[in-house]
Structures are given as structure tokens and as C-alpha cells.
Amino acid sequence: MKEAFQAAWPYLRKYRRGLALGGGALILKDLAGAALPLVIKAGIDSLTRGEHLSALYWYCAALVAISLAKGFFQYWMRVILVSISRDVEYDMRNDLFRKLVTLSHDFYARYRTGDIMARSTNDLNAVRMMLGPAVMYWAETSLTFVLAISIMFYVDWQLTLWALAPAPLVSLVVMVFGKRIHDRFEAIQKLFSDISSRVQESIAGVRVLRAYVQEEAEMARFEILNREFIAQNLRLATLSGLFMPLLQFLVGLTFLMVLWIGGLRLMQGKITLGSFVMFNTFMGMLVWPMIAFGWVVNLMQRGSASMSRVREFLEQEPTIAAPLSPKPLTQGVKDIEFDSACVRFDGRTALDGVSLKIPAGSTVAIVGRTGSGKSTLVNLVPRLFDPTDGRVLLGGVDLRDLDPTELRRRTGFVPQETFLFSATVAENIAFGVEKTCPEQIQRAAQMAGLASDIESFPNGYETTVGERGVTLSGGQKQRTAIARALLRDPEILILDDALSAVDTITEEQILRSLREFMAGRTTILISHRVSTVREADCIYVLDEGAIVESGSHAELLAQGGYYADLHQKQLLEEELEQI
């Protein structure tokens, strides 16, 4: 619990003024509440002493005035403190999102999307409840207890001790149940992450589910998770269901003590009737705090469990970050050099000591079997991850000495897996470019071979493509991603199998329009098609993470290796298609 509030303090600190105002309203509200029984006591004692009835009117007026003041301060207490908890949730969600978009790929390899979503929504809500209502009611109930017990002790310390006799049992119940509530809620949040991940994966892969007729099987797997989630919640509800009645039973014991012992002391003349009524009024006031205390403990334990889960993300640091003093990246196209670059993932070697130099402004192609390390190699250029061993140099400078943000601004990257946002075609093409105009967007679409397709769309460039570009074909999505990269006007252009979903005729049209654009830029092409890479200045063949062949198209054909076999096979496929 202490760690949770220490983690939240940087967020609360900026609202110190609001906390002070809310805390002041809380104190004044509790002072007004504590004054009510004293006025009632004074009014009843005045009647028993035979004072004039007019005095009772003043006591009634005082009760009304104090009640109005209490209501006024209670309103502002809730408005201010609960609003601050909303502001803290807002700040924390922004920080969490800011952290998520800066973390490196290895983080997303460890955590599932559903788990990330659960911590960004459900857990943050639990933290808000802890920092808002829970803290507010904890402070309110604690101060109410202190004021009420102090006054009761001053009036009759013996009766007060009898009333407090069940207090140790309350502490014991809170300690035992609080720990169990914390553990069970943490288990529930983990299950909620599992359910979120399952739903996200099922929706993202719904086409595969239908194609393999796995709807029923997936529903059965989801039902198992859902039943376990319900079972865990029922266990928590059972625990909470025992917790609250136990507290209410202990509250009933305090009432019993006051009625029994207080009644005896009233008959013995040791306390006045006003004092006896005051004690019962205070006990009535303490019913809600004693019940609310259990609710507060519940919220505190839930919030503490969620805060630890949120902190786990907030304390993550990206493995790819700018150095403390990054070297300046000057304008102009530069050589790219891989110096004995090695990449290993969980003990598996993806690249094994690759050394090659890409001259500035040249076009280089990389081919090879699936899993040979092609995508891993080009991912090193924009520093999506760093080599395990060796270096990657840009203009003779190690990429780790550069600011990755500035490096990526100079790079146009079309990854193997195309991702489009649920926005218009124009917005997807212009993504990542701060200032652009419709003419530039249209020019990029023309070079990517997409302009004619867009003209047939119902709203042209303002057509919404749907989530992940669901309304577009695979080829249209790839060409949209190419247009997005071209619009950046990059010094380095990387096309990672970016034409795999288009036919050879469309591919040739796109490559023809790209040749003029690629002039004077460093371009890296990855493809399984010889037709895509044959015009490259140099072609490298990767196999099991190492370069096994290199040269121009003609030179590789003469070597008679993997590239020559690939070329011969694709020629045969084209001949068969023409039959």
C-alpha cells in the first residue's frame, strides 16, 4: 500500500493546492458533523433543566445552520477530491500511452496486447478509485472517528472504553480480509488481461477462424476463460460478502454496549439524558464510517494491486534510446555499412556476422529463403533494434551514437506487414508528415501505382479504409504504404517485400515510376521476385543469416547458385502461366 502511494505521489503533487482545498473542506465538514451531537446534547439538557422553550428554537436554528454548512463543505469536498483523482487518471493514462509508444520491440514480444489494454483501462480505473473515493473516505472516516471518540471520551471515558471494546476485532478482520482481497483482485486482473488478449486475437484473426471453421472451438476456449473469470470474481464477492456483515456485526456490538452500559449509567445518574442521546447520535454517525472503512479497504487493496501492474509498465525503459550526447546527423545521402553485424533472439541466430557496404545513392537488393534474415538486416538501419554484436554505420558513424528519432525522419520504411489506420486514404498516406498538400499526396499515390484505384473509390482520397485497411485489397494496402514512405521524401528508402501482393505487370509499372524517385537516394529492396531486384546495383543473397552470394544480376546468373536457380524457376512459372 505504501509503495502504491509513493508511486502516485508525483502525480498528486501537482494538485497540492486542490488537495489542500479539498482537505480543508473535509475537515470543516467533519467539524460541523461533530458539532451536531453537541448541539443536540445541549438542547436536551436545557429541556431537562426546565429552561424556557424559546431556548429550544435557538438550538434548532443552530442545527439547521450547522447541517447546511456540513452539506456545503461535503459537496465541495467530493467535487474537488474526486475531480483530482480524475485528473491524476488523465495524467497517468497519458504517461502510460507515451511510454508505450516509445518502448522497443522486445517489450511487445513479452507482453500481449490484451494485457496492455487491461492495464491501460481497468487497472487505471482501480487506481483512480483508490486515489479519489478511497482516500477521501479514509480521511473522512478517520477524522470522524478521532473527533467523535475524543468528545465521547471527554464526556464519559468509561462508557467510551466499553463502546470501543470491539475495536481490536475490527482491526483483526481488516488485516486478514484486506490481504486476501488484494491477492484475489490481482488474480482477477491477470485473468482480465487473458480475456482481453483472447478477444483481441480472435477479432484480429476472425478471417482465419472462419476459414478454418474454428468459431465453435474458439468460443469453447473463451468460455473456459470466462468461467474462470466469473469464478474468481465470485470468490472475491464471497470474501467481500463475509467482510461487510462482520463489520456490521461489530458495529452492532458497539451499539449494544452504549445502550446497555449507557442506560445503566443514566439510571445511576452518572450521565445526563443529553449525554446519553449524544452517545447514541455519535454511534449513529459512526455506523457509516465503520461500514465505509471496509469498502475503503477493499478499494485500497484493489488500487494497490492495480498500481503495481501500472508501475511495471511506467518503469520500463526502451532498449533503443538516444545517447546522452547524440552526434549531429548532417544533411545528404551517406554510405550505410554493416560491420560484422550479429543478431540473436532467445538463443537463435538471425544474422551471423554480416559485413557489407551500401554506397550512398545506390540501390541494393537482398534476396534469400524465408527466415534467412532479410527483414532483420533492414530493421537495423532505422534502429528498430540494435545488433547483438558488431555495428551498423551511417556515413562512418555508429547508429547507436545518433538520435533514433532524427534517423527515422530521414528513412522511408515499408515493412513486410502493412499496417493502415482506420482513417481516410489521404490520412494514411500523409501519416508521419507534418505539413503536406493534396497535390503531394496525389503525386505519391501516382508513383506507388495507387492513383487509378483511388479514383474508383466512392469518396476518392477521403474514403475511409476501415480498421487495418480492411476495405482494401492486399496490393492496395501495400501501395498505400509505399506512397506513405515516398511522401516523406526520405534519404534512405527501404522496401521490405513491399510488392509481394501485386501482379508482375503492376509491379513493373510501380518500379518504372520509382526509378526516377530512387535516383540519388539509398534504396534497399527485399523481394522473392527476380523481376523486382534485377535492376539493382548490387544483389546480396542471404542464407541462415550470412551472405552467400553477391553481385549484379548478370554476375549472379553466371555463378549458378541460389539466385540463378530462383531466376530459372520463376522463368518456368511465367512460361507455364502463358500456356
| Topology annotation, domain 336-578 | Rossmann fold (3.40.50)
* Backbone angles phi and psi of 394, in degrees to 5: -120, 110
Q: Which percentage of the chain shows pLDDT scores above 90? A: 4
Q: What is the pLDDT of residues 24-56, one digit of tens each?
A: 999 999 898 888 888 877 777 777 766 666 677
Assign 543 a pLDDT band (cuts: 50, 70, 90): confident
pLDDT at 109: 76
For CATH 1.20.1560.10, the residue range(s) in the chain are 87-314
For CATH 3.40.50.300, the residue range(s) in the chain are 336-578
pLDDT at 76: 93
SS3 per-residue string spanning 474-535: HHHHHHHHHHHHHHCCCCEEEEECCCCCCCHHHHHHHHHHHHHHHCCCEEEEECCCHHHHCC
- Mean pLDDT lowest among 3-17, 198-212, 452-466: 198-212
Q: What is the pLDDT of residues 224-260, one digit of tens each?
A: 888 888 888 888 888 877 777 777 777 777 777 777 7
Assign 207 a pLDDT band (cuts: 50, 70, 90): low
**What average pLDDT is seen over the chain?**
82
Assign 577 a pLDDT band (cuts: 50, 70, 90): low
Angle at 360 between CA 355 and CA 362, to 5 degrees: 85
Residues pairing with 464 in the sheet: 424
Q: What is the mean pLDDT of residues 531-543?
A: 86
Cα distances (Å, whole numbers) of residue 567 to 29, 505, 512, 529, 556: 84, 17, 20, 8, 10
pLDDT at 271: 72
pLDDT at 24: 93
pLDDT at 53: 65
Residues pairing with 495 in the sheet: 414, 525
Is the predicted pLDDT of residue 461 greater than 80, yes or no? yes
**C-alpha cell of 394?**
551511417
- 319 and 106 in contact (C-beta within 8 Å)? yes
Long-range contacts of 421-427, Cβ-Cβ distance < 8 Å, separation of 24 or more: 421/465, 422/464, 422/465, 422/466, 422/467, 422/468, 423/464, 423/465, 424/459, 424/461, 424/462, 424/463, 424/464, 424/465, 425/454, 425/457, 425/460, 425/461, 425/462, 425/463, 425/465, 425/480, 426/461, 426/462
Is the predicted pLDDT of residue 168 greater than 80, yes or no? no
pLDDT at 51: 64
551: part of which helix (H) or strand (E)?
Answer: strand 546-551
Q: CATH for 87-314, among 1.10.287.130, 1.20.58.1180, 3.10.180.10, 1.20.1560.10? A: 1.20.1560.10
pLDDT at 75: 92
Q: What is the pLDDT of residues 392-415, one digit of tens each?
A: 998 888 988 888 888 888 888 888
Cα distances (Å, whole numbers) of residue 404 to 166, 233, 394, 466, 514: 63, 45, 12, 31, 26
Angle at 34 between CA 31 and CA 37, to 5 degrees: 150
Q: What is the pLDDT of residues 144-164, one digit of tens each?
A: 888 888 887 777 777 777 777
Q: What is the mean pLDDT of residues 514-528?
A: 84
543: part of which helix (H) or strand (E)?
Answer: strand 538-543
| Cβ neighbour number for residue 90 with a 10 Å cutoff | 13
Sign of the alpha-carbon dihedral angle for 175, 179, 184, 188: positive
Q: What is the DSSP letter of 122?
A: I
Is the predicted pLDDT of residue 578 greater than 70, yes or no? no
**pTM for the whole thing?**
0.71
